[in-house]
Chains A and B, each alone.
Chain A
């Protein structure tokens, strides 16, 4: 894999560490962290801050027989299995495979026209997360944002005004950014994208594209 040059922001890592990030965004964060040792270390530091907050919490007394009740719970459960060190086969890191139900071959693509395809992944609905398949050289329709958009490249690469995004790179777009990502020639581009609001498309394409995108 090529060097990752576009990383997660501190805001996203902290919200993921505190557990307040909507599920769809959390999936993109977990998938990027699976690929990026740098962000894994930054995340661990934010989780350590959670440990400090817990350490400083003012204790609230438990019920009288809480310890015995907990030991009874322990007796009723079996130990968590040690996760097998599994060398990764295929394109998707484990958290993404959990949502897809497998690797690339298991994705149920829906055509969006002009060769672009998407697959919306099931979440609690607080954010929308989808896989996008953009043929080499093709563009995703010009769009601005009403909220955040987080796009992680899994295969191929795209370019927009912000630069080039290759495998493992993540683009964090806010409301200000209007961009037209174009997939690089050579290899079809596959991305994982999360949005927390409807995208607004510009021009004529929008009215056509919006119902298809259901974004």
Chain B
């Protein structure tokens, strides 16, 4: 990602494309898009990734998180046809030379969170995944399954808290 960010490296982009484009397509289809729609939007998400690469800050988000936010915003815009109000950028913006130690810690904590998600019992994991696919809100999920998301969240709470601490 940094090769793309700093040098617009096409080979680096091709590698990101191979990894993320099929996942973005899956993500959008889970959220209710048709295969054709999801294909179109996945390509657009990847094109946006290229054009926003210079704004990527590895001390604030993993690449997967960055791609997720672009795909999510595309879904809100295209499928829900709503605007997405975004928080103001931090006054200092993305650092030209991000601190490598900070970026490493963030990457490690992000991996830990992915592991914590993988280790949830399947039903609970599915619930979290459906929330992020944009399928259902939080309270709709609780109604549908009879499971309050809070109890599930407590299992990934530790990983979330560690990450939150690093992001401060």
Contacts and interface: CB of A to CB of B under 8 A. Distances in A.
Interface of A: 10-11, 14-15, 17-23, 26-27, 29-31, 33-34, 37-38, 40-63, 66-67, 69-71, 73-74, 77-80, 82-83, 85-88, 93-95, 98-99, 123-124, 126
B54 A82 contact: yes
Nearest 6 pairs between A and B by C-beta?
A: A51-B65, A59-B22, A51-B64, A34-B88, A94-B88, A52-B114
B164 A44 contact: yes
Contacts of A46: 160
B168 A41 contact: yes
25 contacts: A14-B138, A14-B149, A15-B137, A18-B137, A19-B80, A29-B85, A38-B168, A45-B167, A47-B65, A48-B62, A50-B69, A50-B72, A51-B67, A51-B68, A52-B114, A57-B27, A57-B30, A63-B39, A66-B42, A67-B14, A70-B21, A74-B50, A79-B51, A85-B92, A124-B81
Contacts of B138: 11, 14-15, 18, 20
Interface of B: 10, 14, 17, 20-27, 29-30, 35, 38-39, 42-44, 46-48, 50-52, 54-55, 60-69, 71-73, 75-76, 80-94, 109-110, 113-114, 117-118, 128-129, 131-134, 136-139, 149-150, 153, 156, 160-161, 163-165, 167-168
A115 to B, nearest CB: 29
Contact of B91 (A44, A80, A87): A87
Contacts of B20: 54
Contact of B23 (A30, A33, A38, A54): A54
Nearest to B165: A41
Given A15-B138, A49-B156, A123-B83, A56 B93 contact: no
Contacts of A45: 113, 160-161, 163-164, 167
A38 B153 CA distance: 19
- The majority secondary structure among interface residues of chain A is helix
What is the interface of chain B mostly: helix, strand, loop, or mixed? helix
A62 B42 contact: yes
A26 B85 contact: yes
B83 A23 contact: yes
B117 A52 contact: yes
Contact of B26 (A43, A59, A95): A59
Contact of B93 (A34, A83, A99): A83
Contact of A51 (B21, B61, B85): B61
Given A51-B110, A66-B42, 18 more contacts: A18-B138, A19-B75, A42-B164, A44-B60, A44-B163, A47-B68, A49-B156, A51-B64, A54-B27, A54-B67, A56-B117, A57-B30, A62-B39, A80-B54, A85-B92, A93-B87, A94-B89, A95-B87
Contact of A56 (B60, B76, B89, B118): B118
Contacts of B80: 19, 124
Contacts of A95: 85-88
Contact of A123 (B14, B82, B133): B82
Contacts of A27: 85
B89 A52 contact: no
Nearest to B109: A48
A75 to B, nearest CB: 9
B51 A47 contact: no
A55 B23 contact: yes
A96 B21 CA distance: 33
A210 B29 CA distance: 43
Contact of A47 (B43, B48, B69, B84): B69
